[in-house]
Amino acid sequence: MKTKIAVLVSGGGTNLQALIDAQQSGIIKSGEIKLVISSKEGVYALTRAENAGIDRLVIERKGNPDFEKQLIAALEENGIELIILAGFMCILSEKFTSRFANRIINVHPSLIPSFCGAGYYGLRVHEAALEYGVKVTGATVHFVNEIPDGGKIIFQKAVEIKEGDTPEVLQRRVMEEAEWKILPAAAEKVSYDIMKSKGN
């Protein structure tokens, strides 16, 4: 039995698309994306899920005191075994992360432990790398625990910083050369490990 995957999104869903493409091309074969949950209405990630025939759900984060409770209910109702955060702009509580220990993975656009933790997300990560003058950046896929970007690292891939890079140019290169490669690879690895642990 394939591992049942939910992908949590908050925006355009480029990393979700990389996962969908990897599933369709057979890179992800031990798991199957069963559900896409967005923390807000009207984001393009939901259209990507619809186009791929994947069930979608919106659980509004803003002004919702029961957000995590509703999230847990949706995940458990659907028998989800692996949660992938793909541009999911919400910090999850320890109560949530401990409930799904070693079952939540996230991609972060730097080589952890550099440029990570609270406040480091989106373009801010790439701005910081350029401000600091590092020559190499990259992306990291890691397990999620109660510390932002603090869980065990699964995969990392380095990306060269080039002369004249802007944060936007660098963001795109990190996505193309690192995030879109290691996130599907990690999804397959963890799906396989979960499948094996069930004795399949």
pLDDT at position 120 = 92
Distance (Å, rounded) from C-alpha 157 to C-alpha 18?
A: 16
User: pTM score, two decimals?
Assistant: 0.96
Cα dihedral angle (173, 109, 2, 33), rounded to 10 degrees? -80
- Annotated active-site residue in 2, 4, 48, 108: 108
* Amino acid residing at 15: N
Distance (Å, rounded) from C-alpha 92 to C-alpha 57?
A: 18
pLDDT at position 198 = 86
For residue 105, what are the β-bridge partners?
84, 143
Per-residue pLDDT of the chain (200 residues; tens, 9 = 90+): 999 999 999 999 999 999 999 999 999 999 999 999 999 999 999 999 999 999 999 999 999 999 999 999 999 999 999 999 999 988 899 999 999 999 999 999 999 999 999 889 999 999 999 999 999 999 999 999 999 899 999 999 999 999 999 999 999 999 999 999 999 999 999 999 999 998 86
Known catalytic residue: 126? no
Helices 167-174 and 123-132 cross at an angle (nearest 10°) of: 110
pLDDT at position 62 = 93
Q: Domain spanning 3-197 has what CATH number?
A: 3.40.50.170
Distance (Å, rounded) from C-alpha 105 to C-alpha 150?
A: 11
Residue whose entry in the numeric block shows the structure tokens 């209405």 = 41
pLDDT at position 200 = 65
For 35, phi and psi rounded to 5 degrees?
Answer: -155, 140
